[in-house]
Amino acid sequence: MAVEALILKAVSTGRLNRSTAALEAITAAVDIAQPEGLTRPFVSAGAPVADLLVQHRHVLARHLDFTRDILTAITPQTAQKPAAPTDVEPLTDRELLVLRYLTTQLKAGDVGADLYLSINTVKSHLQSIYRKLGVTSRREAVDRGRALNLI
């Protein structure tokens, strides 16, 4: 089935820290599954898909009801996460992607290569992320991002 193949591709590319490719694959899977209401392939894949669906919801904000139902089926507490406080300036889509890379050990140049951005653009995104989250280090940004349910 195409949906299952796309889910497998999304999970495997995600594990290789290829977030853009993983997001594209999970988006394609959601786009195909949503009209038919196919949730079983996502639920069967479990927790790795939940992380990708959360990213999909933050970046693309498409099929929110459908993806919420899947997340609830995978991990019931996911749907009950509190909303991020409004005292933080919202991050752009690209800043959210870069923020998610901060949990890895990749350097700015490697992140840029994966996202097809120059190292200077990645560094600009990092400065903006730090400013918006009110932090001064990578570790603090990751901790703050997790506290705000951005990661």
With respect to residue 88, please indicate whether it lies within any of the assigned structural domains: no
Q: How far is CA 111 from CA 56, 66, 103, 105, 116, in A?
A: 19, 30, 11, 10, 8
Answer with the one of 80, 104, 125 that is the final residue of a domain: 80
With respect to residue 86, please indicate whether it lies within any of the assigned structural domains: no
pLDDT in tens, 85-113: 556 788 888 898 898 888 888 888 998 89
For residue 39, the enclosing domain spans 2-80
pLDDT band at 123 (very low <50, low <70, confident <90, very high): very high
Answer with the one of 80, 111, 128 that is the final residue of a domain: 80
pLDDT in tens, 125-135: 999 999 998 89
What proportion of the chain, given as a percentage, has pLDDT over 70?
91
User: If we measure between CA atoms, which residue out of 111, 113, 114, 147 comes closest to residue 126?
Assistant: 111
CATH number at residue 132: 1.10.10.10
Average the pLDDT over 58-85 and give the result: 70
Report the pLDDT value the prediction gives residue 81, as an integer from 0 to 100.
Answer: 47
Q: Are 9 and 68 in the same domain?
A: yes
Q: Are 101 and 66 in the same domain?
A: no
Report the pLDDT value the prediction gives residue 78, as an integer from 0 to 100.
Answer: 41
Summary count for the chain: helices (H), strands (E): 9, 0
Number of C-beta neighbours around residue 142 at 10 A: 19
Cα dihedral 97, 99, 104, 110 sign: positive
Cα angle for residues 24, 93, 60 (degrees, 5° grid): 45
pTM for the model: 0.50
pLDDT in tens, 3-48: 899 989 988 888 887 888 888 999 999 999 989 888 888 888 888 8
Q: Are 136 and 98 in the same domain?
A: yes
Report the pLDDT value the prediction gives residue 50, as an integer from 0 to 100.
Answer: 85
C-alpha–C-alpha distance, residues 131 and 89, integer Å: 9
State the total domains in the chain.
2
